[in-house]
Amino acid sequence: MSQHQTSPENLSALNRTPSHHGQSVSVVPWRDATVESLGFPVRSEYIEWFWLPVLGPSATWLLRRIDFGFDQFPEGYLLDARSTAQALGIAARDDAGTIFARALSRLQSFGIAHGGSGSFAVRRVLPPVAQRHLSRMPATVRDA
């Protein structure tokens, strides 16, 4: 892995200390025994095939990046919003209109994250996609 890529092993430097230029967000795992018993890990192929069309690419990649952090910090950590946005190739300004802020908002809208004021619980396992979302997908995806 090149020095410009961030592996799960390098997340401590990226996420433990808040940035002086951006906002940090506290993230903790959202434990839900019911969803975890019937759902799919956020880094599984199911998420890519069925949740990606619902959440969009920025929210899906943000979710996966947060989940990588939980591998190293199982009880939660501070996510540097600016550095994470830059690492994902999305807007890194310090305002609510950024792609990062919208991606986090989308995670909340679909029940994948909850919280606010800079502190969020985030699922590591997602439930099956609701039928109403499946019905909007191309037949090739629905039938997979």
- Strand blocks (E) in 36-76: 40-41
* Any domain includes 21: yes
Q: How far apart are CA 122 and CA 55, in angstroms?
A: 14
Q: Helix (H, G, I), strand (E, B), or coil: what is residue 49?
A: helix
* Any domain includes 126: yes
Residue span of the structural domain in which 48 resides: 8-142
Q: Which of 130, 112, 131 is nearest to 122 (CA)?
A: 112
**Span 80-107, pLDDT tens digits:** 988 999 999 997 666 666 888 899 999 9
**Would you report the helix, strand and coil content of the chain in percent, each value rounded to 5?**
45, 15, 35
* Any domain includes 47: yes
* Any domain includes 48: yes
What does the DSSP assignment read for 14-32?
Answer: HHSS--SSS-EEEEEEE--
What is the domain count for the chain?
1
**Span 52-65, pLDDT tens digits:** 999 999 999 999 99
